[in-house]
Amino acid sequence: MAPRVPPSAGSPVPGGRLSRLARLGGMAAGVAGGMLAEGAGRLARGERPRLEDLLMTPTNVLRVTGQLANLRGAAMKMGQLISMEAGDILPPELAAIMARLRADAEPMPRAQVQSVLDRAWGPGWLERFERFSFHPIAAASIGQVHRARTHDGRDLAIKIQYPGVRRAIDSDVDNVATLLRLSGLVPRHLDVGPLLREAKRQLHEEADYEREADCLERFAALLAEDPDFRVPAVHRDLTGRDVLAMDYCDSVPIETLERMPQDERDRVAARLVDLALRELFVFRLMQTDPNLANYRYEPQTGRIVLLDFGATRAFSAGFVEPCRALAVAGLADDRAGVAAALTRMGLVDERLPQRHRDRILAMFDLAKAPLLGSDLFDFGDAAILRRLREAGLEFADEREFWRLPPTDALFLQRKVGGTYLLAARLKARVDVKALAARYVPPRVDAGDEAPLA
């Protein structure tokens, strides 16, 4: 979910393949025109610009992100992922423009909301509610959320999928991938086919609200005895593939904790770090979209509200156990064990030159040194993140050796990185070493929870 949206009449979501293709075609034409104008200007100044330099101008990126935000769905979702995952690689001015895709999507107008719910619930559905707000309380890439109250007193948050999103996933992903290729952000030698197939599969799962309802109920059961978390209950009588009805949780954005005392910020961050560890090592089931908007806070109870389980991913024991071995080796400061675990995870292999393998190990050493050096890890220490970013940028400069890690590792990295950034936002101090030690060496209950099929 995304933050609350300001009042707006909204704009219709292009639902048909032809209309979406036309929007992307218009965007491509506009980008091409911008490239010609920019190239002419640079040539007049005696410069010899590269193709990717012409494409990735602020004006063109603004044009691309604006169209992706208007299309919503997989196109916007891909843009969000690019801005989140590549934000530290893009030039600052372009990263700032791409970041607009993390903000609210333009909501659907009332007539389109009415049409979607007519199909989902049948004509006359409004009579089932004491009140229903047509203005959404949140709008994101795949759907928007409305608050409603039924005649039997249920206070609900109802997520409604944008029309045409599911049908457009495959073509949207392919079109965005083409833009990435043209931009030069992706080296030509890199085979992104497996990643694109996985992106399509993941997005089809996210667009299935019945599956998300299953994941919500699964996490609610897993965390039922944990007093620090709340997962909204699902209301099956109003839930279908395109509509998800759940409890409305009276809460505030998690980032409002920035104004809370240090002890409370530390507690919340520690619980989120511990949750990520449990998801990996105990549940083997992880919500892999650690967007700030997917975490909220109940001031009255101190509970953390968990939202948006569309990106839930099950991990096999064959992936989790090398992760556990990596944690064991890292905590023991065993460099050879770390190298062996990274190899088992598919992050390092003999195809990489030795100097690149050494650099990966050096980056891991850089990350774990402050964890092992003190009982409390200071997420607010910007110097740590800056050193990691600089090391990553140096590695990224050698594009000829780029290779895609296994998909499970990419989703895990997304979760770890997002959790880190959230804790950094709260300037929390957490004994991460003690938390990790709870889950290594292997626990008896680590395989008790069967992954979601």
Which residues are catalytic, by number?
A: 289
Give the integer Cα–Cα distance in Å for 216 and 220.
6
* Burial tier of 395 (Cβ tally within 10 Å: 0-12, 13-18, 19+): middle
308: left (phi over 0), alpha (psi -120 to 50) or beta: left
Q: How many angstroms separate the most distant Cα atoms in the chain?
A: 73
Q: Please, which residues bridge with residue 247 across strands?
A: 156
176-205 burial code (b ≥16 CB/10 A, e <16): bbebbebbbbbeeeeeeeebbebbbebbee
Q: Please say whether the beta carbons of 295 and 422 come within 8 A.
A: yes
Determine the Cα–Cα distance for residues 239 and 121; give it in Å rounded to an integer: 9
The tokens of 422 are what? 């959230």
Write the CB contacts of 132 (distance below 8 Å, at least 6 apart in sequence): 126, 146, 148, 149
DSSP-assigned letters across all residues of 36-56: HHHHHHHHHTT----HHHHHT
- Cα separation, 276 vs 286, in Å, equals 7
Token pair in block for residue 67? 């169209």
In whole angstroms, what is the distance from residue 339 CA to residue 358 CA? 9
1-40: b (≥16 Cβ within 10 Å) or e: bbbebeeeebeebbbeeeebeebbeebbebbeebbeebbe
The conformation of residue 365, written as its DSSP 8-state character, comes to H
Structure tokens at 395: 């590695």
CB 310 within 8 A of CB 165: no
